[in-house]
């Protein structure tokens, strides 16, 4: 496996929390990057990168941006829970534009999916990549839609997708839940390298987490991508294990606080799903 992609890589959401980690790190490895976001890139532009401001809802702009690119690292969009009308343009319509661009360019999509696509699974139940999708929010539902779009474009057009169900990617874990879900920035960057440089990925799912002993997640396609997470939330256990809330839904389900946002159901589902 070479360490530089043959074609430029398009990074959406470049001005966001994770984009600002990825852009300089990948540029430092000699990658040619096309960066884009709705808002200006706030840092010095890394060497070998260009930035174009665009709205994911603008289909022709996304097609132009993707021209000549071999991979789209799709990190742009609404990244937390919002009312449906605020999620739909960037995360549903925008995703369609990304996939149409990938189809045209024969490019691979690495999709920043989320644990909130499966947030209504109980924490006690370890999940494999083929588990039921149980979104906990309109945001999580948009990630389910994205994963399903990836499958449709794989079967129908041969567009490859690596869907990374990111747990919590922040400088450090800050509560008990993150002892299970934390993804260090360094592990995120290594994962993006593997997802981009692996010769063939097909359409696969990866749990976006570091090597956490308390992980909610088990089997995924990491074996075929190669590489393994090198960081872990475990050293923070003594500090954070008791940092919990009193909220029943939040503590029962993998999606944490998202399962409580705008909730009207008084008690959790008991027993088997859908009973
Ligand atoms: N950080 C995490 O722990 C985490 C966890 C799960 C999933 N994710 C996913 O990873 C991706 C990046 O997360 P982040 O934490 O950097 O989020 P972020 O909100 O910091 O970055 C998202 C970026 O997308 C841009 N954006 C929003 N609407 C847009 C539009 N219509 N057109 C173009 N750009 C638009 C925003 O301006 C922002 O810079 C998101 O897709 C998010 O859902 C992140």
203-261 residue pLDDT tens: 999 999 999 999 999 999 999 999 999 999 999 999 999 999 999 999 999 999 999 99
pTM for the model = 0.98
Q: H or E stretch including 11? A: strand 9-12
Q: H or E stretch including 147? A: helix 138-157
The finding on whether 158 has its CB within 6 A of some atom of ligand 1 is no
User: Can you tell me the mean pLDDT for 105-119?
Assistant: 98
Atom from ligand 1 closest to the CA of residue 94 = 31
The finding on whether 70 has its CB within 6 A of some atom of ligand 1 is no
Atom from ligand 1 closest to the CA of residue 56 = 32
**DSSP-assigned letter for residue 258:** G
| Euclidean distance between CA atoms 229 and 215, whole angstroms | 12
**Residue 139 among the catalytic residues:** yes
Give the residue among 54, 119, 111, 109 at the shortest CA–CA distance from 81. Answer: 119
**pLDDT reported for residue 274:** 60
Query: Residues 157-183: pLDDT tens digits?
Result: 999 999 999 999 999 999 999 999 999
The finding on whether 168 has its CB within 6 A of some atom of ligand 1 is yes
What is the total residue count of the chain? 275
The finding on whether 75 has its CB within 6 A of some atom of ligand 1 is yes
Catalytic hit among 99, 138, 139, 145: 139
Q: Please, what is the average pLDDT of the chain? A: 96
């Amino acid at each position: 496996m070479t360490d530089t992609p043959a074609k430029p890589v398009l990074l959406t959401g470049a001005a966001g929390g994770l984009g600002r980690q990825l852009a300089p790190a990948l540029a430092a490895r000699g990658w040619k990057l096309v960066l884009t976001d709705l808002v200006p890139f706030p840092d010095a532009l890394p060497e070998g990168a260009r930035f174009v401001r665009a709205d994911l809802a603008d289909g022709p702009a996304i097609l132009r941006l993707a021209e000549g690119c071999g991979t789209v690292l799709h990190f742009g969009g609404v990244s937390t829970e919002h009312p449906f009308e605020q999620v739909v343009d960037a995360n549903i319509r925008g995703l369609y534009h990304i996939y149409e661009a990938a189809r045209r360019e024969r490019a691979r999509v690495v999709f920043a999916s989320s644990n909130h696509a499966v947030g209504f699974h109980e924490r006690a139940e370890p999940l494999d990549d083929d588990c039921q999708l149980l979104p906990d929010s309109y945001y999580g539902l948009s990630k389910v839609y994205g994963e399903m779009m990836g499958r449709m474009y794989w079967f129908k057009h041969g567009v490859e997708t690596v869907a990374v169900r990111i747990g919590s990617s922040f400088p450090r874990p800050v509560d008990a839940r993150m002892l299970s879900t934390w993804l260090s920035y360094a592990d995120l960057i290594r994962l993006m390298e593997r997802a981009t440089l692996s010769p063939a990925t097909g359409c696969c799912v990866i749990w976006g987490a570091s090597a956490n002993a308390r992980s909610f997640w088990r089997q995924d396609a990491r074996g075929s991508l190669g590489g393994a997470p090198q960081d872990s939330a475990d050293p923070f256990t003594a500090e954070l294990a008791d940092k919990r809330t009193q909220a029943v839904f939040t503590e029962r389900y993998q999606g944490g606080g998202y399962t409580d946002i705008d909730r009207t159901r008084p008690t959790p589902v008991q027993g088997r799903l859908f009973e």
